[in-house]
Structure 1
């Protein structure tokens, strides 16, 4: 399999998953502002999951541009990542309905953490077939270094969600996303300065 087919498959699956998210949104009980306000946790859950998946897609595509070769390990890690991503609409729907449930927020957290760990190993797997591509090796190393604290933030969020306040899981995902975006921006700025 060539990388273009894998990228197209990944893009299609993520697009479908992100579309399914909106279909899971509940309708307001009546056409009033207060009825929409009652759905605020649903909209928050939807927006968080949508933009988190979107940032995953952006990150993957930035790396895929540098990839020259793929092997079976890359294909299977990517497939596992997509399988876990396919659980996001279900987990988001549950969070929308049971936002303050420890069990539901823990489930959401486990899915998100599993995806992040899988993403880490996908980036590690990319190194082997591209060992002669220094620009990719540097990019995957940098990305993996960013993912370690990201995973840590999410694990702390999971623990706090179970022990203290369930919605802290989703807030941890939001915080981890802000961290990743900040670190990517800094890495891009450093890269541009190095090219001058």
Structure 2
């Protein structure tokens, strides 16, 4: 069913409504499509083939999801699992350490300065830097930079890297408006990091 979302609700509330209708969870891509189909005024209604539109849509969605997760946690009503492949409402469990761990992605998406300051040029800059570094032999640093993990405050391990890889694949997959070149770069970066962190 594709009824319109209440335009007076903020994006987090609209997402909560959609997630309640999908107990098994749904992907970031599906959430964006449902928001568009239901005429949400909180995300750009433009083709995701434009890199900057894709970035901004993704950022707005994740900003709202992290806000929603914090609110639900504080209310002790639910836990929100957030990943591009599956966003899912789960039962609240007291004593869980789910929000006590430092989460650099949460910090990134809750800082709207990142949304304001990122240009299309910035979105492409990481990719260009990646290939330059690859040719210069600094492959590990280039791969971490492409994954935006080069300044991570937590010790990196393969699980963290794989989680970030899945997020990037979901975001940049050609079937979802991403570019094949970008996806190839992400796959190559993952191969490199697996060698270093396995």
TM-score, reference length from structure 1: 0.33
The structure richer in strand per residue is 2
TM-score, reference length from structure 2: 0.33
The structure richer in helix per residue is 1
